[in-house]
Amino acid sequence: MLKNPKDLKQGLSKLMKEHHDIQKELSSLKKEKASGAGKDLEEKIEEKNAVKILLSQVDIGPDEAKNLIFQLIKKHRNLIVALATVQENKVVVSIGLGPELVKAANFTAKGLIKEISADIHGGGGGQDHFATAGGKNVGGVVNAFEKIRNIVSL
């Protein structure tokens, strides 16, 4: 296709369109996978002191985890969600707080991220309602989730 100089422009254009179509399909599949994960995760929501909490490691990318968190906190206004994603031996923990918790809780997403960053050997930040941290210690996720559970239970 690209070996004939006469067709170079046309061949390149065709390749670019194919690449765009594949990217679009991949994005759609990722959203579909995240949506399925969301339904499964809703069954794992716990309640402590009138606060709903969801702590889970998920098999989706960090961007999909962020979108999923926003979907969940939109549906459950008093929910704290912490999702850990692992890619190439690196972990990203994303934390979201529902709007009711942002107003009433004595903790914030960025405060929780600061508390758990050392557990995953990384750092991060964010806002009161959503924050992320990336690190190299995948094994630290269990400890990080336990810290979050303890802070929320206070």
Per residue in 72-108, pLDDT (tens digit) is 999 888 999 999 999 999 999 999 999 888 888 788 9
- The strand pairing partners of 55, in sequence order, are 82
Q: What is the CA radius of gyration of the chain?
A: 20
Measured CA to CA in angstroms, residue 132 lies from 28, 63, 137 at distances of 24, 11, 15
Q: Do the beta carbons of residue 120 and residue 112 sit within 8 Å?
A: no
Helix, strand or coil, per DSSP, at residue 12: helix
Quote the mean pLDDT of the chain. Answer: 85
Please, which residues have CB within 8 angstroms of residue 52's CB and are 6 or more apart in sequence?
45, 46, 76, 78, 79, 80, 98
- Asked if residue 60 has pLDDT above 90, the reply is no
For the entire predicted model, the pTM comes to: 0.77
Measured CA to CA in angstroms, residue 142 lies from 26, 82, 106 at distances of 30, 11, 23
How confident is the model over 108-114, as a mean pLDDT?
95
Binned at pLDDT 50, 70 and 90, residue 41 comes out as confident
- Asked if residue 66 has pLDDT above 90, the reply is yes
